[in-house]
Amino acid sequence: MTGKMPTPEIERAFDLALIIQAEHDLNASTFAARLTVSTLSDIYSAVVSAIGTLRGPLHGGANERVIEMLREIATKDKVIPYVEERLNRKEKIFGFGHRIYKKPDPRAEILKKQSKLFWDKEAPNHAVHDNLHEMAVMMEEYMLKTKNLYPNVDFYSGPLLHALGVPSPLFTPLFATCRSVGWIAHAIEQL
């Protein structure tokens, strides 16, 4: 995917990211999959329904938007002014808040630790921008202090995948790939 053979360390981190995102309760895409098979449709149609739901900007693609946002900010000194400006305009800060987790999302905590490991080691994309992981931590601290919002799984999966050299247009398809395991399990249970 990156044009290079991954190290065992990168393989483990990539596997971890896929496993963490494989299944999570009854979110919008999982509900769509279950609803589809509840009509006695097939599992393929359930997965297509789930993918269609995931494509919506309020469910899928948030980790890609996180990276776009961090790239737009570009340097650590611009993090807080950027967030303040967006909040003042009542715009969404992608990767924050969760329907279930009102306290820290345990998946985000794991991905945050993994992301830091790769940024500390000069990630493949590190030289392109100021340290995106540090920028993300600054944003997390500010959002918690001002809005009492914790990051969700999407927030740190973006910096981790970026650090691993995964092109950002592949973030959502990768999410769909690993989440399909959960969708299929739910569909079978529904049937």
Three-class HEC string of the chain: CCCCCCCHHHHHHHHHHHHHCCCCCCCHHHHHHHHHHHCCCCHHHHHHHHHHHHCCCCCCCHHHHHHHHHHHHCCHHHHHHHHHHHHHCCCCCCCECCCCCCCCCHHHHHHHHHHHHHHHCCCCCHHHCCCHHHHHHHHHHHHHHHHCCCECHHHHHHHHHHHCCCCHHHHHHHHHHHHHHHHHHHHHHHC
pLDDT number for residue 132: 85
Say what the pTM is. Answer: 0.84
What is the Cα–Cα distance from 93 to 135, expressed in whole angstroms? 14
**How many other C-beta atoms are found inside a 10 Å radius of the C-beta of residue 81?**
10
C-alpha to C-alpha distances, 170 to 54, 57, 59, 63, 111, nearest whole angstrom: 14, 15, 16, 10, 18
Note if 105 is an active site residue. Answer: no
98's tokens: 């969760």
The single residue of 98, 133, 162, 186 carrying the catalytic annotation is 98
Note if 154 is an active site residue. Answer: yes
Among candidates 18, 33, 20, 53, which has minimal Cα distance to 191? 33
**How far does the chain reach from its first CA to its final CA, in angstroms?**
36
The single residue of 24, 133, 154, 186 carrying the catalytic annotation is 154
107 Cβ partners below 8 Å, 6+ apart? 20, 21, 24, 152, 153
> Average pLDDT by consecutive 10-residue portion of the chain (191 residues)?
86 91 84 96 96 83 89 92 96 83 85 83 54 90 94 90 89 91 93 90
73's tokens: 């900010």
